[in-house]
Amino acid sequence: MLATDDPLILDLVEWVARGERSHADLMESWRTSCPRLTVWEDAIEHGYLARQGGLIAVTAKGWALLKTSGRRVA
């Protein structure tokens, strides 16, 4: 599951869960110039998010992460 030092991944998954997001929207909102900050790549690698066509979706594993973290997304 998610390490305790990865709160940004949890924030990203929650952000995607709150509304339909395109890949372009995600890249614009979560862009960084820091090569050590790989939130998007880590969320994909861990299986929390996936590309579906032109949209980004929360996976079953991502929904489970939100549930176990106590975050509520309607």
Domain for residue 45, yes or no? yes
33-68 pLDDT tens trace: 666 668 888 899 999 999 998 899 999 999 999 999
Sheet with 55-58: list strands edge to edge.
Answer: 21-22, 55-58, 49-52
Domain for residue 2, yes or no? no
- For the chain, the domain total comes to 1
How many helices (H) and strands (E) the chain has is answered by 4, 3
Domain for residue 51, yes or no? yes
CATH value at residue 57: 1.10.10.10
Residue among 50, 51, 57, 66 at smallest CA distance from 20 = 57
pTM for this predicted structure: 0.83
Domain for residue 73, yes or no? no
The mean of the pLDDT values for the chain is 85
Range of the domain at 25: 7-68
